[in-house]
Amino acid sequence: MKSKAYCSNFFSVPLAMENMKRFWAIGVVGLLVYLLSGVFPLILSYDEIQPYMIESIMNNHNPGYMAAHLFLAISSAVAVFRYLQTTGSTSVMHAMPFSRKGLYLSSYWSGLKLAYLPAFLNGLVLLLLKTPVIQTVYVDNLPIQTNIYTTAAVLGWMAEVLVIITFMYSIAVFAGMVTGSVILHALTALGFNFLLTALYGTFLGYSEIYFFGFTYNQLISEIALRLSPYTNVLQREGVIQPKAWLVYMAAAAVISVGTYFIYKKRPLEKATDSTVFRFMEYFISFLVVFFGSSLIGMVFHEYDYGYAGYIFGGILGFLIGQMIVKKTMKIFDLENLKAFVVFAAIMAVIVVGFSMDALGYERKVPNPDSVATATISSYNLTPGNMPSAFSEKDNIQLALDFHQAVIDGRAEYRDYLGAGFNVTLTYELSSGRQMSRRYALPYAAIMDSDALRQLYESAEAEKPAETLAQFHIPNTQIVLYPAGYSSKEPLTMHYTDDDASNLKKQTLLEALLLDLKEMTFAELVSGRAPVLQLEILHRTKTEDRTSDAPVETYPYPKEKEDGNYRYESYSYSITADYAYTLRWISDNELSHLLISADERDFAVISRQCMAKDEESEEMWGYGKYSSIDVKPQSGSGSLVLEDPSTITLLLRDYAQRDLRSFDSEADALCLTLYRGADYQDYDMYETTDRYYLNEGDLPEGIRAETDRYLSD
Amino acid sequence: MIQVKGLCKSFDDFTALSDLNVHVETGSIYGLIGVNGSGKTTLIKHLTGVYMPDAGQIEYDGEDIYENIGVKERLGYIPDDLYFFNSYNIRDMASFYRKIYPRWNEPRYQAMLQEFGLSERRKISKFSKGMQKQAAFILTMSIMPDYLILDEPIDGLDPLIRKKVWRYVVSDVAERQMTVLVSSHNLREMEGICDYIGILSGGRMMIERDLEELKTDIHKVQIAFKDQQDRSFSDLNILHREKRGSVELLIVRDSGDHVKSVLKKEDPAVLDMLPLSLEEIFIYEMGGESSEIQSILF
């Protein structure tokens, strides 16, 4: 009979077919998961398929699909290469008329088919079920009605799944080549598929703990997620670009070829050992040490026992890792002790390297010539929450000067947890890369910064505010809220085509713009309590929906989406420094919206913010809530004010919302406002809000009173 | 012919085989014996192309076995640790063997199946160990191998089945010049089957001889004299000497004629030359009744 040697040397069809016959159940389970997760829900709602259902399928955001991809890739690899994991099967299979190349290729191919066939069949079913599903998608910010359930979309899904499964499968096969037991094969197949992401995430964790100024930005997250196509689909719209497909498939090919060469060298006598190659013992053992030490160290770091956590986690990880690779609990010998010392040294280098900033991350300030744009954003620093982006050379230098000053003061700022500003500095570099830093800084670091002062008083700093001048007034809604505690109805100036109303809105915006342009840095950071809250909602009109299109919602809006509009909102805390705006309020007879003594029965000025008999608990939106049963009297360290006009004056012109202007809390007077309340049939007084007063700035009359009642 | 030259293999720090040479003539049955851990299974795994040697060559009629599909198609192997595909019955395994072994003999397969009385459709995992061995034997013999490697094949088989197994093996050796290497601890059974014997110890071949030659070169002699005089028998290569009352028991490695002529000169009262079993040859060739040697006996 003709020899089949030629075929068996490269590929054995009988072996490949036999594998499909033996392990068909894996494919069936995978197919069932696909069908139950995607197809059946579609069939059940076939008359009115929601766009989000199609999106979750096509973007692989369907949890069932993701579970199926993972299950199929790993199970198939473990199944087809299981013969390498026992002595009997290793001997028999390699004594059969196959070369190692033939065994590898046949098993690899049959396993890959097994892993992908269910997805392919599922794709065919999706094609059979295809029906138009219309959704609004935005291209270059323009809305377009589009059918998202198309042949191209399904084929794209099938191709993307092929990429995901092939990549994960190739790693799972590699794991099988370097391990000697089924359990360890499965565990390492799973672990290796997320190893890079886990390593990257761990190093990010170290960065967050140790690097002053470290912040996640989108690019960092994207890099972590792009290390695997499986995690790549989790980001944004979940669609991997075709260029990335090629990269992943090329990586899978390289891994697979490398794995073949490992198989050629694999000592088959190592079947049933945990690992096949000596270096894998050390590698897996070190990984367990690394992750164990890092995880426990990071948890303990929360309680200031970080180093103890690293040591404890490292020892525990070493013991567990050694027991896993050696398959015995008897691991206490000289050789293992040497390995432990080496691992401990490596961990020490990592931890110390991060804590000592060996790579200079904290100290890095970009070269001014390499910076295209510097952006500073901070919630309380930039009105309307519009980040300030600076591209002029002088301003970029000022931003860098501020940055350098922060770095120079890092010994003081590193562990700062008090009240202050959270500032994010973002540099767009000429190279196209981005550099970001985020700092929690005390108020003084901002308020005393000459560089920031110059920056925010520059012409370029006015540009964000000039957006207000470009708003289309009929599509602008302005809401005025009383500041502080109030049950008054806000005033809303709606979207309208009425000229009179729009003129009113326009003049208000013009006043606001003037205030923003003329505001000094000192006023910007003064910390004065707001007298009014102003919110602007600007909408951009889109084309009308098609009349027969189903009601849809865009699942991942950048801004609020409602029908035919996209919205942008800006909030402003109007203080006494907003002279033009307040004049407009006055001219339009809206002064009743300003903060006042209304709805407050009395105010107490004291040196301490809580009386001894006050009970306090956090109350959302109003700071610390407290209550007292008896209305206090002036004296014994507190001054009680009942005159509404006095209280209003203090609130509008003298109140500070935080302690930024004071060297310490002891230097500030506390202004606490109360209102009477009925609670369970007995009288009590609740705080409405709290502010701080600078004793030296108080009006004469009040100053005299405070001297009288607040002196010790 | 199977030829092993200078085979060396180490596992980590342990030397399993050291400069090992084996020669198996075509159409012969070679018995490989040795204590546990002597390297038998390691040698067999090299012979079947499973292990990569550190040094040396393993050739089948001049062709290296490692990664040689052509040789493996003609090689039948029954390991001590059997393996079948999960949930498969004999029929399924036969179907697979049929596709990968070009000389698969269906009539022989069917005949052996009937003779051994195994169910074709029952899962092999449900068989007893002995029945699994029978299944492995049926499948292996049905591929009509030119070379047959058996690692402790008769463990777990009852005497009737053992007889059938050896009948097939001997018949193929006689009719098709099949070359057989069998490893076993059952020296009594090997004695009746093997043409050649190789004794392995510590990864080295201690003795490799034609069994008949081995037997003709070593004798057990019972001798008694009328007087009690001590005699040295210095002209003889005495492996073992033991006195039981007035009778002396000698194990001598020399030709039979030479032994007789030397002893007759001493005018013994009793002189009997008795054949040795393979067990006894093994014991005395390996240097006496050491515990290592005793352990090889059944």
Distance of CA A480 to the CA centre of its chain: 31
Compute the nearest-CA separation of B79 from chain A (Å). Answer: 7
pLDDT of residue A139: 65
Q: How many residues does chain B have?
A: 298
- Pair B54, B143 in one domain: yes
- Pair B45, B134 in one domain: yes
Tokens of A169: 């499968």
Compute the nearest-CA separation of A175 from chain B (Å). Answer: 21
Query: Which is more confidently placed, A650 or A630?
Result: A650
Between chains, do B69 and A99 touch, taking CB under 8 Å as contact?
Answer: yes
Identify the domain boundary among B183, B212, B241.
B212
Interface of A with B in 48-87 (CB under 8 A): 83, 86-87
Between chains, do B50 and A95 touch, taking CB under 8 Å as contact?
Answer: yes
Closest partner residue to A92 (CB to CB) among B83, B86, B102 is B83
pLDDT of residue B2: 94
pLDDT-above-90 percentage for chain A = 48
Q: How confident is the model at residue A161 (pLDDT cuts 50, 70, 90)?
A: very high
Between chains, do B70 and A4 touch, taking CB under 8 Å as contact?
Answer: no
Asked if residue A294 has pLDDT above 70, the reply is: yes
Closest partner residue to A8 (CB to CB) among B52, B69, B77 is B69
- Determine the angle formed by the axes of helices A13-22 and A63-80, rounding to 10 degrees: 130
- Pair B255, B123 in one domain: no
**Residues of chain A with C-beta less than 8 angstroms from the C-beta of B85:** 18, 22
pLDDT-above-70 percentage for chain A = 90
Between chains, do B100 and A14 touch, taking CB under 8 Å as contact?
Answer: yes
Q: Is A349 on the interface with B (CB under 8 A)?
A: no
Asked if residue A8 has pLDDT above 70, the reply is: no
Q: Are B137 and B164 in contact (CB under 8 A)?
A: no
Interval A423-462: pLDDT, tens: 999 999 998 888 999 999 988 888 899 999 999 888 888 8
**Residues of chain A with C-beta less than 8 angstroms from the C-beta of B87:** 22
Residue with tokens 């003889």: B236
Asked if residue A549 has pLDDT above 50, the reply is: no
Distance CA A301, CA A348 (A): 15
Distance CA B12, CA A276 (A): 12
Asked if residue A205 has pLDDT above 80, the reply is: yes
Interval B81-92: pLDDT, tens: 899 998 899 999
Q: How confident is the model at residue A555 (pLDDT cuts 50, 70, 90)?
A: very low
- Judged on CB neighbours under 10 Å (0-12, 13-18, 19+), A157 is buried
Between chains, do A92 and B86 touch, taking CB under 8 Å as contact?
Answer: no
Q: Which residues contact B81 (CB under 8 A, 6 or more apart)?
A: A87, A88, A91
Half-sphere exposure of B273 (CA within 13 A, CB side): 18
Compute the nearest-CA separation of A320 from chain B (Å). Answer: 24
Q: Are A12 and A98 in contact (CB under 8 A)?
A: yes
pLDDT of residue A622: 43
- Pair B21, B68 in one domain: yes
pLDDT of residue A372: 94
pLDDT of residue A4: 52
Least confident interval from A294-298, A322-326, B144-148: A322-326
In order of A464, A511, A513, A578, the CA distances from A469 in angstroms are 10, 11, 8, 17
Between chains, do A96 and B45 touch, taking CB under 8 Å as contact?
Answer: no
- Pair B30, B174 in one domain: yes
Between chains, do A268 and B50 touch, taking CB under 8 Å as contact?
Answer: yes
Query: Which is more confidently placed, B145 or A447?
Result: B145
Structure ipTM? 0.88
Q: How confident is the model at residue B26 (pLDDT cuts 50, 70, 90)?
A: very high
- Pair B202, B248 in one domain: no
Query: Which is more confidently placed, A138 or A316?
Result: A316
Closest partner residue to B79 (CB to CB) among A2, A88, A102 is A88
- Pair B103, B201 in one domain: yes
Query: Which is more confidently placed, A326 or A372?
Result: A372
pLDDT of residue A1: 46
Give the residue-averaged pLDDT of A352-374: 92
Mean pLDDT taken over chain A: 86
Parent domain of B281: 217-297
- Pair B189, B288 in one domain: no
- Pair B150, B276 in one domain: no
Interval A239-269: pLDDT, tens: 667 888 999 999 999 999 999 999 998 888 8
- Pair B186, B231 in one domain: no
Give the residue-averaged pLDDT of A411-428: 86
CATH number at residue B89: 3.40.50.300
Between chains, do A1 and B82 touch, taking CB under 8 Å as contact?
Answer: no
Among A13, A18, A104, A335, which would you mutate to test the B interface (most chain B Cβ atoms within 10 Å of its Cβ)?
Answer: A18
Distance CA A111, CA A520 (A): 69
Asked if residue A94 has pLDDT above 70, the reply is: yes
Residues β-bridged to residue A424: A377, A438
**Residues of chain A with C-beta less than 8 angstroms from the C-beta of B86:** 22
Query: Which is more confidently placed, B20 or A709?
Result: B20
Q: Is A92 on the interface with B (CB under 8 A)?
A: yes
Interface of B with A (CB under 8 A): 11, 45, 48-52, 67, 69-70, 72-73, 75, 77, 79, 81-83, 85-88, 96, 99-103
Residue with tokens 């009605």: A145
Identify the domain boundary among B212, B232, B262.
B212
pLDDT of residue A645: 92
Q: How confident is the model at residue A655 (pLDDT cuts 50, 70, 90)?
A: very high
- Pair B50, B26 in one domain: yes
Q: Is A97 on the interface with B (CB under 8 A)?
A: yes
Nearest residue of A to residue B140 by CA position? A96
**Residues of chain B with C-beta less than 8 angstroms from the C-beta of A22:** 85-88
Residues β-bridged to residue A541: A565
C-alpha triplet A171, A173, A178: angle, nearest 5°: 95
Asked if residue A512 has pLDDT above 80, the reply is: yes
Q: How many domains does chain B have?
A: 2
Most confidently predicted of A319-328, A481-490, A545-554, B46-55: B46-55
**Residues of chain A with C-beta less than 8 angstroms from the C-beta of B73:** 3-5, 97
Among B17, B100, B103, which would you mutate to test the A interface (most chain A Cβ atoms within 10 Å of its Cβ)?
Answer: B100
Q: Are A215 and A436 in contact (CB under 8 A)?
A: yes
Among A9, A11, A94, A268, which would you mutate to test the B interface (most chain B Cβ atoms within 10 Å of its Cβ)?
Answer: A94
Distance CA A55, CA A214 (A): 34
pLDDT of residue A237: 59
Between chains, do A90 and B49 touch, taking CB under 8 Å as contact?
Answer: no
Query: Which is more confidently placed, A312 or A234?
Result: A312
Between chains, do A98 and B52 touch, taking CB under 8 Å as contact?
Answer: no
Identify the domain boundary among B180, B212, B244.
B212
Give the residue-averaged pLDDT of B260-282: 85
CATH number at residue B257: 3.30.70
Q: Are A18 and B87 in contact (CB under 8 A)?
A: no
Give the residue-averaged pLDDT of B236-244: 84
Between chains, do B100 and A8 touch, taking CB under 8 Å as contact?
Answer: yes
Among A17, A92, A277, which would you mutate to test the B interface (most chain B Cβ atoms within 10 Å of its Cβ)?
Answer: A92
Residues β-bridged to residue B183: B32, B151
Nearest residue of A to residue B88 by CA position? A22
**Residues of chain B with C-beta less than 8 angstroms from the C-beta of A89:** 83
Q: Is A146 on the interface with B (CB under 8 A)?
A: no
Q: Is A621 on the interface with B (CB under 8 A)?
A: no
Closest partner residue to A91 (CB to CB) among B45, B69, B96 is B45
Distance CA A257, CA B106 (A): 39
Q: Is A94 on the interface with B (CB under 8 A)?
A: yes
Asked if residue A707 has pLDDT above 80, the reply is: yes
Q: How confident is the model at residue A216 (pLDDT cuts 50, 70, 90)?
A: confident
Between chains, do A268 and B51 touch, taking CB under 8 Å as contact?
Answer: yes
pLDDT of residue A552: 35
Interval A382-407: pLDDT, tens: 777 777 889 999 999 999 999 999 99
pLDDT of residue A550: 34
Q: Is A18 on the interface with B (CB under 8 A)?
A: yes
C-alpha triplet A420, A424, A428: angle, nearest 5°: 160
Asked if residue A620 has pLDDT above 60, the reply is: no
Residues β-bridged to residue A438: A424
Nearest residue of A to residue B104 by CA position? A1
Q: Which residues contact A342 (CB under 8 A, 6 or more apart)?
A: none
- Pair B207, B160 in one domain: yes
Most confidently predicted of A37-51, A548-562, A671-685: A37-51
pLDDT of residue A146: 86
